[in-house]
C-alpha cells in the first residue's frame, strides 16, 4: 500500500525473507495481494493459478486522487475468481475523515453482500509528504479515524478494514484501543505480525512482504477460504486461533529468549543455580489471559560446567525434574510443554555449577479452562513418573539390552483412569555403557520401527515424546542397545481420547516413519547437503488427513552429520525461521521432538545449517486440527 508518490510510504516495516507458503503456516491461512497503479498490468489468471484467493486494489487518496488502474484491477481480479476489495490512502490533513469516506465510496470503494467483495480498507500510516502524523495531535487523529469509520459504516453498513503499522498507530493515536470493532490489516515484514496495536487480539490480514510470488504487496488472510467468504459476506469472523479450553494454537517459531543478545532478558550468561523469568502471555500474539501452557524449544549453549535445565511455571516451586541435560561446552536443545504461572510467565533454572546461555523459541500455546473435548490437553506437573536409578515407577535396576520398562500412566499423578489417548513425557537416558536408542510406545502394541531419542555410551540425553497409551493406560520404554541404561520419565500432561473435531485438538497416529534419507523413504537415498533444504510431504501420509491440519508432532533425528551445525524445521518455503530445533556435533546422532506448522500444501521443510552433510529421519506422532 502507499501514496501516489512512492510504491510504499516511508513507514516500510522491518524486512523478512519468507515465501507466502511459509507464512501461511496454519495451513488454513489464505494468500493474497494488494496492488496500485504501480502494478498497472496484472495477469490475474496467473495470480490465481499461483495460489492467491483475494486482492485489494488502491482506489483513492485524500479527496483528490483516483487510480486509473483501479477499474481494471477490481474487475479483473473478480473475473479471475478472486475475492476483491478497494483501499483508500488517508491524508488526514487534506480534508475530514467523513469527506474522504464519501470520496472513497463514490469512486468504487463501496461494499456489497455478494460474498465476493471485501469491505473497503482504510490505509492509514506514516505521511509520505510531511510530518509523520500529518500535523495532527493524537486526539485529532483519533477524531479523524472515527469520522472516516462512522461515515463508511453509514454508507455501506460495514466497518472499514484498518491497515496500519503498530509503530504508527501507537505514535499517532496514543496507543488507542477503541477501534476493535473494525478488522485489522497489519504491516510487518519481520516474520511475525506481532505485536499488534492495542484493541486487537489478532489480525484479520497480515501484509508480510512488499514483493514475492504475486505482484505488489504480499498478504495473508487469517483463516480458511470459507472464513474469507464469510468475512466478505459480512459475517462476524472469529480468528482461527482456537478458543475451546485445552486446545492448541500452533505458531511459527519465534525467539522469546536469548540471553546472548538480550532478547527477553538481559544480555548476560545465567549463573550457577540461577533462573530466568520468561514472559509468555501477552507476547508474540499469545493472549494476555486464558493460557494454560506453552510449547517451547529450549536450548542451552556455552555451558562452563555440566548440568541440567528445568522449566516450570513462574511463582511455583521448582520441581525435581529436568528438561534437558548438558555437558561442559555442549549446545543442546529439547522441546518442552510448560505450564505458565499466574502472571503468564515461566522460569528456566540453571542446574549446574557453571554459567550458561539460554534460548527459548515459541512453538505454540494451550488455551486454559476445563477439558471437555476429545484431543484436548491437560497440563500437569512436571512430575517424575519413572527413575530406574531410585525405584520410582519401576524397580531400582538398570534396564538390560533389548529390554523394556512398563510405566503406568492412567490413574496416576492427576491423569484420569479412563479416556486418555496419549501422554506427553520428557524421556531421559543416563549411565549407558553402549550406544543405542530408546523407543516409547503403547503397552500391548507392537513396537514400532522408530526411535524417540538416541544416545552414545556414557551420554545423558533427554527428549520430549508424545506417546499413545495402551488399553491398560500404560506405556513401554524399550532399550535399543546392546548395553544397560538407566531410564527417567517426567510427565508434562495428557490428551483426552476420542475422535477429534474441534480446532486445536490433537489426534494421535501410530508412530510412523515418513522420512529416512538413508533408505530413500520420503526422499532420494542421499544425505542432505551442506546448507541445503529438503521438503517433506506430511498431509495425506501416515493416517494424517490431506487437509484441515494446522501442525504436526514429529520426532526429527539428525544421523551421522559430517560437521557440527544445527537443523531448522518449519513450513515448506523458500527460507526458514531464524531459530533452531536440533544442535549437533560432527558424528553424533541427535533427535528432538518438533511441533511444526505445515505449508498450504501440507509440507514441512528441513534445513541443514552446517558445512557438512547429514542424513535425516522423521517419525510422525500426531497432528492438530486447524480452525475454520
What is the end-to-end Cα distance of the chain in Å, rounded? 28
Of the candidates 541, 533, 539, the residue with the CA atom closest to the CA atom of residue 570: 533
Helices (H), 422-480: none
Q: What does the block give as the cell for 624?
A: 492438530
- Any idea which residues carry the catalytic annotation? 34, 125
Burial class (CB in 10 A: 0-12, 13-18, 19+), 499: exposed
- b/e sequence 379-406, b meaning 16+ C-beta within 10 Å: bbbbebbbbbeeeebbeeebbeeeebbe
Q: What does the block give as the cell for 217?
A: 504487496
Q: CA 585 to CA 509: how far, in whole Å?
A: 31
DSSP structural state of residue 357: E
Of the candidates 444, 603, 435, the residue with the CA atom closest to the CA atom of residue 535: 603
Pairing of strands 461-468, 161-164: unpaired
The full DSSP string for 102-160 is HHHHHTT----SSSSBPPPEEE--S-SSSSTTTT--HHHHHHHHHHHHHHHHHHHSSPP
Beta bridge pairs of residue 336: 296
Q: CA 260 to CA 267: how far, in whole Å?
A: 5
Q: Which helix (H) or strand (E) holds 75?
A: helix 70-79
In a 13 Å sphere around the CA of 600, the CA atoms on its Cβ side amount to 20
Q: Phi first, then psi: what are they for 268, rounded to 5°?
A: -160, 145
CB contact at 8 A, 536 and 596: no
- 10 Å Cβ neighbour count for 522? 19
Of the candidates 48, 37, 104, the residue with the CA atom closest to the CA atom of residue 77: 48
Q: What does the block give as the cell for 156?
A: 455501506
Q: CA 184 to CA 161: how far, in whole Å?
A: 6
Supply the angle between the helices 97-106 and 138-156 in degrees, to the nearest 10: 40
Amino acid at each position: 500500500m502507499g501514496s501516489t508518490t512512492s510504491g510504499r510510504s516511508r513507514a516500510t516495516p522491518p524486512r523478512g525473507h519468507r515465501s507466502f507458503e511459509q507464512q501461511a503456516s496454519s495451513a488454513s491461512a489464505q494468500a493474497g495481494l494488494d496492488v496500485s497503479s504501480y502494478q498497472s498490468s496484472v495477469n490475474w489468471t496467473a495470480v490465481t493459478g499461483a495460489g492467491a484467493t483475494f486482492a485489494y486494489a488502491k482506489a483513492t487518496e485524500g479527496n483528490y486522487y483516483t487510480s486509473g488502474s483501479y477499474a481494471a484491477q477490481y474487475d479483473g481480479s473478480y473475473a479471475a475468481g478472486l475475492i476483491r476489495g478497494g483501499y483508500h490512502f488517508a491524508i488526514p490533513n487534506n480534508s475530514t475523515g467523513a469527506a474522504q469516506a464519501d470520496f472513497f465510496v463514490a469512486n468504487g470503494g463501496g461494499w456489497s453482500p455478494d460474498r465476493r467483495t471485501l469491505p473497503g480498507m482504510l490505509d492509514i500510516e506514516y505521511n509520505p509528504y510531511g510530518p509523520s502524523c500529518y500535523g495532527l495531535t493524537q486526539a485529532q487523529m483519533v477524531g479523524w479515524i472515527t469520522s472516516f469509520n462512522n461515515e463508511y459504516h453509514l454508507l455501506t453498513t460495514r466497518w472499514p478494514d484498518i491497515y496500519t503499522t503498530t509503530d504508527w498507530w501507537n505514535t499517532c493515536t496514543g496507543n488507542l484501543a477503541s477501534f476493535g470493532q473494525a478488522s485489522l490489516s497489519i504491516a510487518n515484514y519481520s516474520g511475525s505480525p506481532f505485536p499488534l496495536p492495542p484493541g486487537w487480539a489478532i489480525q484479520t490480514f497480515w501484509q508480510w512482504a512488499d514483493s514475492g510470488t504475486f505482484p505488489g504487496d504480499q498478504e495473508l488472510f487469517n483463516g480458511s477460504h470459507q472464513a474469507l467468504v464469510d468475512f466478505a459476506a459480512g459475517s462476524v469472523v472469529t480468528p482461527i486461533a482456537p478458543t475451546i479450553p485445552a486446545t492448541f494454537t500452533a505458531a511459527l517459531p519465534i525467539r522469546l529468549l536469548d540471553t546472548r543478545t538480550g532478547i527477553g532478558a538481559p544480555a548476560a550468561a545465567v549463573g550457577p543455580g540461577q533462573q530466568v523469568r520468561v514472559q509468555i502471555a501477552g507476547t508474540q500474539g499469545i493472549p494476555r489471559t486464558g493460557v494454560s501452557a506453552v510449547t517451547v524449544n529450549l536450548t542451552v549453549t556455552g555451558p562452563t560446567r555440566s548440568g541440567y535445565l528445568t522449566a516450570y511455571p513462574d511463582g511455583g516451586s521448582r520441581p525435581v525434574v529436568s528438561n534437558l541435560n548438558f555437558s561442559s561446552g555442549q549446545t543442546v536443545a529439547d522441546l518442552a510443554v510448560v505450564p505458565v504461572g499466574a502472571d503468564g510467565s515461566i522460569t528456566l533454572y540453571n542446574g549446574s555449577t557453571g554459567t550458561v546461555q539460554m534460548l527459548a523459541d515459541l512453538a505454540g500455546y494451550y488455551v486454559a479452562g476445563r477439558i471437555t473435548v476429545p484431543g484436548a490437553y491437560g497440563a500437569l506437573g512436571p512430575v517424575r513418573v519413572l527413575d530406574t536409578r531410585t525405584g520410582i515407577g519401576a524397580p531400582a535396576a538398570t534396564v538390560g539390552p533389548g529390554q523394556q520398562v512398563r510405566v503406568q500412566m492412567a490413574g496416576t499423578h492427576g491423569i484420569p483412569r479412563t479416556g486418555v489417548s496419549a501422554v506427553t513425557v520428557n524421556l531421559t537416558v543416563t549411565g549407558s555403557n553402549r550406544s543405542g536408542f530408546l523407543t516409547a510406545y503403547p503397552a500391548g502394541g507392537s513396537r514400532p520401527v522408530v526411535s524417540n531419542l538416541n544416545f552414545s555410551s556414557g551420554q545423558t540425553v533427554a527428549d520430549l515424546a508424545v506417546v499413545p497409551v495402551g488399553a491398560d493406560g500404560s506405556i513401554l520404554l524399550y532399550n535399543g542397545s546392546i548395553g544397560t541404561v538407566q531410564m527417567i520419565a517426567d510427565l508434562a500432561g495428557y490428551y483426552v481420547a476420542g475422535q477429534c473435531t474441534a480446532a486445536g485438538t490433537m489426534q494421535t497416529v501410530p508412530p510412523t516413519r515418513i522420512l529416512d534419507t538413508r533408505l530413500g523413504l520420503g526422499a532420494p537415498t542421499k544425505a542432505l547437503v551442506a546448507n541445503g533444504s529438503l521438503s517433506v510431504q506430511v498431509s495425506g501420509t501416515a493416517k494424517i488427513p490431506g487437509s484441515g491440519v494446522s501442525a504436526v508432532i514429529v520426532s526429527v533425528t539428525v544421523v551421522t552429520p559430517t560437521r557440527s551445525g544445527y537443523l531448522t524445521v518449519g513450513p515448506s518455503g523458500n527460507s526458514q525461521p531464524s531459530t533452531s530445533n536440533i544442535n549437533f556435533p560432527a558424528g553424533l546422532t541427535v533427535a528432538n521432538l518438533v511441533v511444526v506448522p505445515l505449508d498450504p500444501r501440507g509440507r514441512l521443510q528441513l534445513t541443514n545449517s552446517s558445512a557438512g552433510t547429514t542424513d535425516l529421519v522423521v517419525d510422525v506422532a500426531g497432528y492438530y486440527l486447524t480452525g475454520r
